[in-house]
Amino acid sequence: MDRSSENTTHFGYREVPVKEKARLVHQVFESVADNYDLMNDLMSMGVHRLWKRHFVATSGFGRGDRVLDLAGGTGDIAALLARKVGSTGRVWLSDINEAMLGVGRRRMEDQGLVGNIRYALANAEALPFRSGYFDGVTIAFGLRNVTDKDQALREMHRVLKPGGRALVLEFSQVQPKLLSKLYDGYSFGLLPVLGRFVAQDADSYQYLAESIRKHPGQEELAEMMRKAGFTGVRYQNLTGGIVAIHGGYHA
């Protein structure tokens, strides 16, 4: 369960009031926004770009589709989607954090992606879109930061058309035991050090490492999606389960 009790939830390994988590997460991403892309490249040695390309390439979305990218941050997924849906399609780059959304908008404009991109400052738990509007909804490396994941999944289901698809790319449970031990050492040893020296913010990257461990594993997230109303739920592990792609359909 995401919540530890009626009134508290986890923020990394800390227990905090439910009402406080969104503010604390907001502070983290306000702090890391300017260095977010550089840190992602350093932390994953560039592999995150391969994960994202595979995520979009296998999405099944095509020309003319309307796709909502939640927690879209600096726009990596939205840029790939915009090229995939073409000039007749539309992609909404959405994030709850104004600083992250601002960075994403500037990046889209720098790449000349202006004709089929829209922007929305939005909370994934209460989306400002009518039901059945989108052909697809994506969220990449954002679901673990949402306070009420079940509610966010229900909202993703609500805004999808019948037959529409939701896709979640997120850190998950590493499968091989040796890789899991190595990954733990890397996450809690190197990430905060990189955060301190590159982004001048060790605490935010300590939280991000902890948030990965608190996120539901593959089977648990798949079941959460089913309970939110999705059918045909499947997942694919990448890089030994360091990340996983979960997908489901609005029946």
| Distance between CA atoms of residues 160 and 212, nearest Å | 27
Tens of pLDDT, residue by residue over 88-121, are 999 999 999 998 899 999 999 999 999 999 999 9
Contact 33, 99 (CB under 8 A): yes
Tens of pLDDT, residue by residue over 186-211, are 777 777 677 676 666 677 777 777 78
Question: Maximum CA pair distance of the chain?
Answer: 48
Counts of helices then strands in the chain (DSSP H, E): 10, 9
pLDDT at 8 > cutoff 60: yes
Tens of pLDDT, residue by residue over 32-47, are 667 667 667 767 778 9
Cα of first residue to Cα of last residue in the chain, in angstroms, is: 25
Angle between helices 202-214 and 191-198 (to 10 degrees): 150
Q: Which CATH number fits domain 22-250: 3.30.1490.20, 1.10.540.10, 3.40.50.150, 3.30.930.10?
A: 3.40.50.150
Task: Supply the pTM of this predicted model.
Answer: 0.85
